[in-house]
Structure 1
């Protein structure tokens, strides 16, 4: 076990210290269920202190030379490269990541941080021409000020980093609140990385509160001009309502009910492999994970049989083993929730094609045949459960795919790219992947959803836009003739 002493503290104003909250937050390894760290929770006063620290240092940080800010962000990426093994072990112990998934997550973190290091050179002014005689315009891209970031438990390090790195790079102050279940890998380790990289004290702060104790204080605090939230749609709606009332900018990356569509002329073996990876990576605990497989009825039986047989070969168990794809769920409450959904689907008429089993927090796959109205198809499973749904035609497959409140990711397999592209353009999702699976993320591409899956985009210049604002300043160089 890695020694986490020193990371089990709040990081506020450049100081590592105990929280002043009334709760103790214990972190446990989801696989072994051993306690690995314990935090004294952050109080409302700690949250306020963190925001005050970010606010008091932000302007000076924004004034740091662009080359120096870029160097510091690149140094954070270098630290992650050097400490890859340590970070992988942390992700395995703190959140139950498999060895495969943890390495992918570290790669994502390094890539998004490297890209963010270019952002300081793009916080610049443009000079649009004016329709007014004698006027010169300047439009300045500027940091927002202070950004509050709320991270989830499933890809804790990356889904925090994709907000923290761009926000810092453009000159914002940041307060990060990780999910308390993964407070090390999603929170304090980022504070340590950027501290060592040279981000000035107070610019980045990490707080680990008990939400039952602080309520909405993190979002409602008057200092942050933006909240970046990744998590469930229900919580996202609540945060969006608060930010709307307080006129704060908000980015919401929420849940998904992602369809994997297999048309009649698809390459079945290729589709089977893609659907398996897209479903079982990190035990299905990914917002982009395949939740429903929609297959043309003429190839349904062949696809289902091959998918079941392929799934039986997938390694389930100890996440530290390099060939394990399915490790533990985050906690036993998640196991109970998913088993309840499976039992409900059975009562609704679902046919079990592969019966899973449970060992501690580890769940082996369940494969069901059903309809889009069944519990496991209507709801995001966030676990190794998938419903395969037959469709009589391409039109019906599209209707089923779009019949959900969510719209994050999806994929379609077809005999020709042209057919798949036409289908993909009609899918109501923010992202579609042709002849691949639904779990994709790249640093230079727009990432985000529609409908109940959120608002805003991460990646490339979309992140630059999300974490900055614009100010128009004009100069009237000649006396203006007013119409009076």
Structure 2
């Protein structure tokens, strides 16, 4: 942990804890709310060294079965578990604050907050990276997440938000406004694989004038608490936001989501999760009168045309294996022109040789442990059983890359799928895999005009719709794909699939990715609603109605 991140002694558990760790109570209505039960956070390196021992220690601490005089160095923090009363108070505090915060001028909520939040993220970048690494994110990917946070509140992106939040048009003696108004109380349920960065994404809903309640997940609560309390809260305090504008509580998802749905105080729920549960939750939200904003699974497609820069395309495709594929926005399937398929595969295998496992804190590590790998091997067997060929990988391994069935890592694996007609019968093509397995689909040879239509139809028929990307040089081919690929929240051409950019969304999509209301996800826009306003002076109502 970097020197900038303060560690405070534990207190209030009945034991004499002399080992300092980061300790966060619930944060409700601008106040710390202590709890009598805690979630303990262990360093990811300790988990790799001894998974069973570390998880046993965590379980005993959380159950109160052991209260040591000194905590092991592997324990880096703890977060209070919110009880039912604390959860209810967080909703009440948000409801009390929402209307008052929404009255703050847009210049304050958006322009000033955006600039202050950008500066706060930059100032805390080293600490954010440190917390992410402790949670198990490889160092390079922790830095990538920080870059996304900065782009999300960059001056360019804030200027785009400004253009969308209010527009004014003179019309005779009238002023006509089209503006977005805050929905009210927004509740945020981040995912277990990237809770900190997802919470920071959701925090931009504050700029619309909403009040926010964030659930810090029990699987990784420390990063969410740190980001909300040390990065976002000081910005709100500096702006004079009312207490309750931001609230952060840790707890189990099911009872907290149920409380949010039941409460008449909640307007929107920003939900991250898998598609099956997410779509079910969408229906529950609608029945309860809440707006569901879903961030679910991705199954991103990459198209590689015959004139693509194959070296750059292969380099971009290795992003599929970053974090061992446990990121929703990595490439999940590749559709390659048959004329260059062999050359692309050779280049891809060569680039994969630089993707290595190891401790999260090591500079060049990009693979993360996969604690349960049986689904990987089931999916691989399914692909092979349906005619796919294993190009590389296919085994578990240790951190030193030695193949070992008991290893915590999986080799980056590429399978070759022949033909489009049956490709979607392969599980790894049909659904998000969430591990390092990349299917490369090679259609049967056909005229380019036919292949263009086949490629476009295949991408658009994907049930998911987060990101898609295309590698091609011919301007007419590029124009065809840009015009015809309308499925998904983001389309990138000849670019990193994962890289963040100003103006453009980092999340959001269609189909099984975003549900029936899915689209590119700018939380400031998704958690607000359009309203038209006419301000007249000296207008005769009858004349306005009948034109006389």
TM category (shorter chain) comes to 0.7 to 0.9
Instruction: Show the counterpart of 2:229.
Output: 191
CA deviation string 1:268-289 (max 9, x = no partner): 2222111113x12232222221
Q: Is the 8 A contact 1:421 1:434 kept in 2?
A: no
**Equivalent residue of 1:207, what SS?**
strand
| TM-score normalised to structure 2 length | 0.77
> How far is the alpha carbon of 1:90 from its aligned partner?
0.3
Instruction: Show the counterpart of 2:438.
Output: 386
Tell me: CA distance 1:201–1:117, structure 2 relative to 1, closer, same or farther (3 Å).
Answer: farther
CA deviation string 1:101-158 (max 9, x = no partner): 111211221332345766689865746749xxx9876655432221112212333322
In the aligned structure 1, how far is the partner of 2:253 from the partner of 2:217? 10
> How far is the alpha carbon of 1:367 from its aligned partner?
1.5
Aligned match for 2:183, one of 140, 144, 151: 144
Q: Is the 8 A contact 2:207 2:524 kept in 1?
A: no
Aligned match for 1:280, one of 321, 324, 336: 321
Instruction: Show the counterpart of 2:470.
Output: 412
Aligned match for 2:512, one of 446, 449, 452: 452
Q: Does 1:270 align with 2:312?
A: yes
Aligned pairs for 1:68-467 within 5 A: 68-69=108-109, 70-94=111-135, 96-115=136-155, 126=168, 129=171, 141-165=180-204, 167-197=205-235, 198=237, 199-214=241-256, 216-277=258-319, 279-329=320-370, 332-333=371-372, 335-355=373-393, 356-359=395-398, 361-370=408-417, 371-392=423-444, 393=446, 394=451, 395-427=453-485, 428-446=487-505, 447-454=507-514, 455-457=517-519, 463-467=523-527
In the aligned structure 1, how far is the partner of 2:334 from the partner of 2:209? 43
In the aligned structure 1, how far is the partner of 2:473 from the partner of 2:180? 45
**Equivalent residue of 2:251, what SS?**
coil
Q: Is the 8 A contact 1:18 1:39 kept in 2?
A: no
CA deviation string 1:23-77 (max 9, x = no partner): 7544444453155444443233322111100111222223335555444553333
Q: Is the 8 A contact 1:144 1:225 kept in 2?
A: yes
Structure 1 runs not aligned, ≥5 long: none
| TM-score normalised to structure 1 length | 0.86
In the aligned structure 2, how far is the partner of 1:458 from the partner of 1:409? 10
> How far is the alpha carbon of 1:204 from its aligned partner?
0.1
In the aligned structure 2, how far is the partner of 1:241 from the partner of 1:139? 30
Q: Is the 8 A contact 2:79 2:222 kept in 1?
A: no
CA deviation string 1:216-242 (max 9, x = no partner): 223442212112223322222122212
Q: Is the 8 A contact 2:166 2:177 kept in 1?
A: no
Tell me: CA distance 1:366–1:175, structure 2 relative to 1, closer, same or farther (3 Å).
Answer: same
**Equivalent residue of 1:157, what SS?**
helix
In the aligned structure 2, how far is the partner of 1:401 from the partner of 1:141? 33
**Equivalent residue of 2:303, what SS?**
strand
In the aligned structure 2, how far is the partner of 1:274 from the partner of 1:82? 30
More off after superposition, 114-123 vs 388-397: 114-123
Structure 2 runs not aligned, ≥5 long: 9-20, 48-53, 55-74, 399-406, 418-422
More off after superposition, 98-107 vs 388-397: 388-397
Q: Is the 8 A contact 1:10 1:188 kept in 2?
A: no
Instruction: Show the counterpart of 2:104.
Output: 64
> How far is the alpha carbon of 1:159 from its aligned partner?
2.1
**Equivalent residue of 1:324, what SS?**
coil
> How far is the alpha carbon of 1:175 from its aligned partner?
0.5
More off after superposition, 382-391 vs 398-407: 398-407
Tell me: CA distance 1:136–1:296, structure 2 relative to 1, closer, same or farther (3 Å).
Answer: closer
In the aligned structure 2, how far is the partner of 1:170 from the partner of 1:295? 42
In the aligned structure 2, how far is the partner of 1:203 from the partner of 1:243? 22
Please tell me the root mean square deviation across aligned C-alpha atoms, in Å.
3.1
Aligned match for 1:13, one of 22, 29, 35: 29
In the aligned structure 2, how far is the partner of 1:164 from the partner of 1:83? 16
In the aligned structure 2, how far is the partner of 1:269 from the partner of 1:124? 44
In the aligned structure 1, how far is the partner of 2:336 from the partner of 2:146? 34
In the aligned structure 1, how far is the partner of 2:519 from the partner of 2:458? 26
In the aligned structure 2, how far is the partner of 1:137 from the partner of 1:236? 38
Larger radius of gyration: 2
How many residue pairs were aligned? 470
